[in-house]
Amino acid sequence: MFISNCSLNKVIKHHGVHYLDIKEKQLVINQTNKNDILKILGPPSTKGMFDNNVYIYIERKTSSSKLRKLGKKKLLTNNVLVVEINNKGILVSKEFLNKEKINNINFSESTTDKNYSKRSFVYGFLNSMRQKINDPLGKKRNSQN
């Protein structure tokens, strides 16, 4: 009786484009145009950061796990489709990644070091701004000379 509000059926939450793996097969390189892509897949989940001719589509399905794992989410599907369109609106390339391929992607371990010194442009700019805020009329600087 105390479990009357709990459901024994799994609840599947879906985010993004439904059946991305099937719809991706309808796209043909050098034949499909931008309008066809938008008709088949809809608007992209996101566009490329530096190039607006790169569309990224995402499909993600999660389900709540069994009662013994206290409702922790289980990842069922995690698909990503990266589509590149040329300046004429024709599909140039596509790359489909499922959760197995995404796990095999190698990321670079190298990092970029920060190089801030007292002689850097940023330091000089911020230092001059601080002086202008502390002494807007420049009276303190003239009295020190």
Outline where the chain has alpha helix (H): 20-23, 34-41, 99-103, 121-134, 139-144
The reported pLDDT for the residue numbered 144 is 56
The reported pLDDT for the residue numbered 135 is 75
Q: What is the distance between the alpha carbons of residues 69 and 23, in angstroms, rounded to a whole number?
A: 34
Q: Which residues pair with 54 in a beta bridge?
A: 84
For range 127-143, the mean pLDDT: 71
What are the pLDDT digits (tens) for 80-124? Answer: 999 999 999 999 999 998 877 776 666 677 777 766 555 667 777
The reported pLDDT for the residue numbered 107 is 65
What are the pLDDT digits (tens) for 6-52? Answer: 556 667 788 888 999 999 999 999 999 999 999 999 999 888 877 77
For range 58-82, the mean pLDDT: 78
Which of 46, 74, 42, 44 shows the shortest CA–CA distance to 61?
Answer: 74
The reported pLDDT for the residue numbered 1 is 46
